[in-house]
Amino acid sequence: NAGVTQTPKFQVLKTGQSMTLQCAQDMNHNSMYWYRQDPGMGLRLIYYSASEGTTDKGEVPNGYNVSRLNKREFSLRLESAAPSQTSVYFCASSMGLAGGEQYFGPGTRLTVT
Amino acid sequence: DQQVKQNSPSLSVQEGRISILNCDYTNSMFDYFLWYKKYPAEGPTFLISISSIKDKNEDGRFTVFLNKSAKHLSLHIVPSQPGDSAVYFCAASANAGNNRKLIWGLGTSLAVNP
């Protein structure tokens, strides 16, 4: 039982390049989330998926797209990376019910030069 | 506008003593509160939670207290251990249909000194 896994762990991009961050969970959770964490800014929600087949914008969605490929997988795509997207990205999942507990992956450290 | 505030960026405590981490919130619709711990280079891990119908919840060395009238909650760690050194995030959520989004504080970095 791996929980939430993310790939890659590290990535360096040049401005304008694109990439997709992958996330998968094996806990049969309904909801999945993408966050970014920047120094002094805490965790900010980029996009979330309440259930398979649905996605919604979070607090900072600009410059990102997501795909909920199936119940297990939720990917985050940067179409044209910018230095402002340098951050640590976390994927999380939850049952989506009253409990609210979210379970996080180990993160992807992205640098855009 | 920060709806969940952790006003102390850092806290230092001696091993064996009590650590008290504080969190304030502004949205009276929040009805569920969580604490997460985060070590460097790892994702946050869930620690303990409390529903707004309670004022206290305990789990081993960790106790969370909720004061709804003051819109304040605190996490007590007794006794503190060096392995507790981490960043602690407070998060809150409101009932929004079948999905809950968490609103996060900025975190408090706890250092427990041997």
Contact status, residue A9 vs residue A64, Cβ threshold 8 Å: no
Half-sphere exposure of B114 (CA within 13 A, CB side): 2
Residue B24 has pLDDT above 80, yes or no: yes
Token pair listed for A109 = 């450290």
Contact state of A101 with B34 under an 8 Å Cβ cutoff: yes
| Residue B84 vs residue B98, higher pLDDT | B84
All residues of chain A having their beta carbon less than 8 Å from the beta carbon of residue B30 are none
Lowest-confidence segment of A76-85, B55-64, B81-90, B100-109 by average pLDDT: B100-109
pLDDT at B15: 97
Contact state of A100 with B32 under an 8 Å Cβ cutoff: yes
A81 touches chain B (CB under 8 A): no
Tracing tokens 């990376």 back to the chain, one arrives at A81
Nearest by CB to B102, from A50, A102, A106: name it.
A102
The percent helix, strand, coil of chain A (3-state, each to 5) is 5, 50, 45
Percent of chain A with pLDDT over 70: 96
pLDDT at B72: 98
Contact state of B43 with A90 under an 8 Å Cβ cutoff: yes
Average pLDDT over residues A47-56: 90
Nearest CA in chain B to A58: B101
**Partners of B58 in the β-ladder:** B63
Nearest by CB to A106, from B34, B42, B95: name it.
B42
pLDDT at A99: 52
B90 touches chain A (CB under 8 A): no
* Closest to A82 in 3D by CA, of A99, A101, A60: A60
Residue A63 has pLDDT above 90, yes or no: yes
pLDDT at A106: 96
A101 touches chain B (CB under 8 A): yes
Residue B67 has pLDDT above 60, yes or no: yes
pLDDT at B100: 67
In tens, the pLDDT along B68-96 reads 999 999 999 999 999 999 999 999 988 76
Which residues, in sequence order, are CB contacts of B100 under 8 Å at separation 6+? A94, A96, A97, A98, A100, B32, B93, B94
The span from the CA of A31 to the CA of B15, in Å, is 38
In tens, the pLDDT along A3-46 reads 999 999 999 999 999 999 999 999 999 999 999 999 877 899 99
How many cross-chain Cβ pairs, A to B, lie less than 8 Å apart?
59
Average pLDDT over residues A51-72: 93
DSSP code for A14: -
